[in-house]
Structure formats: C-alpha cells, structure tokens
Amino acid sequence: MQLMKNSDERGPDTEHPISVALVEDEAATRAGLAATIAADASLSLAGTYARAGEALAALSRATPDVLLVDLGLPDMSGLDLIRAVAAQYPSIDVLVFTAFGDEATVIACLEAGARGYLLKGSGVSHIGFDVREIRSGGSPLSPQIARHLVRRLRPAAAPASAPSANISGALSARELEVLNAISRGFSYAETAALLGLQPGTVHAHLKNIYRKLEVRSKTEAVFEANRLGLLK
C-alpha cells in the first residue's frame, strides 16, 4: 500500500489529519486498527503492512507522522524495526502495540526509540486518543506498563511525599475515581462502564487531570498521582 505525501508537503499539522501507518502481521488486528484509524476524522491511514520489510520499503518513499509497530513480526524483530526507524526517520513517533509486556521488552523498546507502548489487551478503540497524545508530546503507555515502570523507578527516587492539599483538593471525587481505575489497568471503555460514564466523558476527566497535575500523558499522571499518594 502506498503512503501519503511527506509531512513537509502537507502543510501545518494543525490543518491536516495525523498520518498513521501500522505494521501488524495478524490480519484481524491489522484490519481492526485500520478501521479505527480510518473512522477518526483527526487521523489519516497512511499504510498497513504485515512485514517489517514492507514498511521500511514504504518509509523510504514517504514518512507518516506515527508508526504503530507490533513486536512479533515474521521477517524481523519489532525491536530491530524500531531501531531502524529511530535511526533513519527520527521525525516519526513510534508507538508499540503488542501483547508482550515484560519489563525487559518494554525497557528495550523505549531505549531503542519507541515513544509509547500499548498492550493489545486494552483494545483498539482508544488508538486515536493515544496517537493524538504522542503527537502532542506525550508518551502514551498502557496503565499496566506505567504502573510497572513506576514501581521500577520508585526505589531510586525520594520517598513519596504527602499529597499537596491544593492538588488533592483540586481533583474532584469523580476525577480521582477515573485516575484510580486507569492506574489499575482499565481501558477507557472499561473505566466508563465501571463508573457509568460515556468514554468521551472519561477522556474529558483525563484532560482535566492532566491540567491539574501539570502532566501530559497517562504515564505522567499515574506517576505523579502515585508520588503524591493519591492512588488507592
């Protein structure tokens, strides 16, 4: 599949959809991701590939804004693909979408140049939100991965401080419920069902949480809330 034109030919990002290409060898997952991206007016499906080699060949002709990468590819390790893309196309935001969530794999992918890491178990309905987050400078991670990294980093950090009265008081009871659900690994849809909300309302609460905690992603929000003792 042919990619769309280079970003420098498309004009400012604020006037055009975010172009997204994906590398996924499982046909059903690839089709689901492609359909979700194509249905989002803020995104543009730039290409779908079952093999790493196909993606690299296409990138030599034109580069998308975001590349979704599975790790279990038939012709090349997804980790090697991330390294190649980071070295040759640093403007591309690589977002991992995989079933592998062990610590060693996560750290290796982030060190190789991935700017986000999502687990397949969380579904594909939130992909648009995560793509927009990564393009705005955030680092979207599945909540399970974020909590895992917080535990890894915390022993080397200063002891958690008591929650600031201003910050803890600024978060509403509903925002705290949303934050706790997300930190426990619930997807947006699951959080909405758990709390009796619409998914869009969950997104709105998250934006308010980001603003109040002065963070830009779920990862930072979970880390900061954990540091402040806001999580149950």
Indicate which CATH number applies to the domain containing 183: 1.10.10.10
Distances (CA, A) of 153 to 109, 141, 218: 17, 15, 16
Nearest-angstrom CA–CA distance, 223 and 48? 33
pTM score, whole prediction? 0.65
Number of domains in the chain: 2
Beta-carbon contacts of residue 142 (< 8 Å; ≥ 6 apart): 101, 117, 118, 119, 121, 122, 185
Residue 155 domain flag: no
Element (H, E) at 119: strand 116-119
Task: Grade residue 151 by pLDDT with cuts at 50, 70 and 90.
Answer: low
What's the pLDDT at 70? 95
Q: Which domain range does residue 206 map to?
A: 160-227
What pLDDT does residue 125 have?
78
Beta bridge partners of 19: 44
pLDDT in tens, 107-136: 889 889 999 999 887 667 789 989 998 998
120 and 194, same domain (yes or no):
no
221 shares its domain with 183: yes
124 and 183 inside one domain: no
Closest CA to 117 of 104, 128, 133, 101: 101
Assess whether 175 and 134 both reside in one domain: no
pLDDT of residue 164: 52
pLDDT in tens, 191-217: 888 888 888 888 888 888 888 888 877
Q: Which residue has the higher pLDDT, 212 or 11?
A: 212
Percentage of the chain beyond pLDDT 70 is: 82
Q: What is the pLDDT of residues 168-181, one digit of tens each?
A: 557 888 988 888 88
Place of tokens 């080699």: 53
The residues that bridge with 67 in the sheet, in sequence order, are 21, 94
117 and 214 share one domain: no
3-class DSSP assignment, residue 142: coil
User: Are 113 and 18 members of one domain?
Assistant: yes
CATH number of the structural domain spanning residue 61: 3.40.50.2300
